[in-house]
Structure 1
Amino acid sequence: MSEQRRARWVDILLLGVSAGIVVGLVLLGNWQIQRLAWKLDLIEAVEARAFGEPVAVPGPNVYDPEEHAYLRVVMEGTYRHEDTAFVKAVTELGPGYWVMTPLDTGARIIWVNRGFVPLDEKEPSGWDLPRGSVTVTGLLRPDEPGGTLLERNRPEIDRWVSRDLGALSERAGLDSSAPFFVDAEHSAEADSWPRGGLTIVSFRNSHLSYALTWYAMALLFAGAVAFQVVSRMRANSRF
């Protein structure tokens, strides 16, 4: 009798744990559906910003990293070519560097990613180097402090793996700069360097497949539990 009571208690416990697992899997699926809606809204917003008419750069007290990411902007200023920094990059053109140059707009300094140069084109003598006042059109991007998951920036040896605006400004002796940079569009000759306009405006969207996976796991697990419960009931009815 005690063994039967113990077996029933264990069965009830296992059934409760199984129900909790099924609920957890369903909740994970629901969370992915919520993420899907968020991602679709983000994609729509970014496409509207990135491919619309260029607008003025947000003011110092207006900028919002989420609201203004990939916003197409236009600005005027003078490049400080002597303060250019090179940030490691890999693009569709191969390995090389992003050319980061501060632009003095008169009101403030805004770092500009003038574009990509391959490893063998790092020497500026063969570049397009606009002098005097220039108009820059491009996509607004948020700061990338510190480095990447695999490597850190090393300002002391001028080695950069991310667009860390604070560290770049300090290295160049600038008092301050805008908390964002601009990926410039390519406006010079098609085969000239740096090569702008290489910003990838796309977002991986696998939330629907993840949601379906969680729901399928919940269904399969619930089916397996139901099968065990029915099998146990049939086995007990024979005695």
Structure 2
Amino acid sequence: MTTAPARRPRGVLALVALYLLFAALFAGLIALGSWQVQRRAWKLDLIQRVEARVHAPPGAPPARTDWSTVSAARDEYRHVRLSGRYLPGRDTYTQAVTELGPGYWLLSPFRTEGGEIVLVNRGFVRERRPAAPSSAGEVTGLLRLSEPGGGFLRRNAPAQERWHSRDVAAIAAARGLDGAAVASYFVDADRTPGADAGPAQEPVGGLTVIKFPNNHLVYALTWFGLALMVAGAAWRVALEQRRRRRAAPPPTDEVR
């Protein structure tokens, strides 16, 4: 009677590899869910800060020395006030789709009392026609960042007067404005108090859409749910292995 040397079955190694895979998947899915929870907290804080800017009393816009550092996180949707006058004959129409239907945004350069030029989105118009002269000496509105290029499929074509985005630098160049004096941002003008949204009141201001998608909770629950499914699959495998061990005949180490 001879005792054979014990050997580790290949099935055990495969089972260890499977459990390592389960562990890696579980850890990765938990990490993704936790990241979405953090993103949700960041998004809620951003929404709160933007709401505070929008509803704050209008203040001074960024100074010329700060134009290069204007950013979405700190400055976009700030409620600002401009004092000066519009420059006539240099209007630009960019395509727009609003709650009032399709049409255009009317952008006009506004020279401030300090000599700077700020593009002002005076509001929505249904047709491209010469803008009525404006004697406004003061404009309030929301600071917006430039929209370079016009998008992947619809590029701006200044030579053909086709504008799909409010690209400050391109519009300033097309209108012969001094680039050094033009602010790096534009301003969405507020709606004139008491004005309705009819054609007679065009351009219609105050149509800025402020919307931040916030689906991070759904994403987090999805990742955590998948992690639970992986844990459940690992548990099922463990139960099946236990059942097989109980049903298997006892091993023998004797060789005749």
Listed as ranges, the gaps of 5+ residues in structure 1 are none
When the two chains are superposed, the root-mean-square deviation of aligned CA atoms in Å is: 2.0
Matched, 1:146 2:124: no
Amino acid at match of 1:171: A
Residue aligning to 1:76 = 83
**1: CA distance between counterparts of 2:11 and 2:243?**
15
Q: Distance in 2 between matches of 1:80 and 1:171?
A: 14
Residue number among 180, 184, 191 corresponding to 1:179 in the alignment: 184
Larger helix percent? 1
Which is greater in Rg?
2
Separation in structure 2 between the aligned mates of residue 19 and residue 185 of structure 1, nearest angstrom: 55
Deviation (angstroms), 1:128: 4.5
Structure 2 CA distance for partners of 1:156 and 1:2, relative to 1, 3 Å: farther
Match runs of 1:1-239 below 5 Å: 5-63=9-67, 64-65=70-71, 66-105=73-112, 106-118=114-126, 121-124=127-130, 128-131=132-135, 134-176=137-179, 177-187=182-192, 189-190=195-196, 191=198, 192-239=201-248
Q: What 5-or-longer segments of structure 2 have no aligned partner?
A: 249-256
TM-superposed CA distance for 1:206, in Å, is 1.3
TM-score, normalising length: structure 1? 0.91
In 2, Cα distance between the equivalents of 1:29 and 1:96?
Answer: 42
How far apart are the structure 2 equivalents of 1:197 and 1:164?
Answer: 20
Partner of 2:254: none
- Write the distance in 2 (CA, Å) between the matches of 1:2 and 1:148: 68
Distance in 2 between the 1:95 and 1:3 partners? Answer: 76
Aligned sequence identity (%): 42
Contact 1:128 1:193 in 2 (8 A): no
Shift of 1:152: 1.7
Tell which deviates more after alignment, 101-110 or 68-77: 101-110
For residue 187 of structure 1, report the CA deviation from its aligned partner.
1.5
Shift of 1:129: 2.9
Amino acid at match of 1:69: E
In structure 2, relative to structure 1, the CA distance for the partners of 1:237 and 1:103 (3 Å cut) is: same
How many correspondences in the alignment?
Answer: 234
Counterpart of 1:72, as a letter, is H
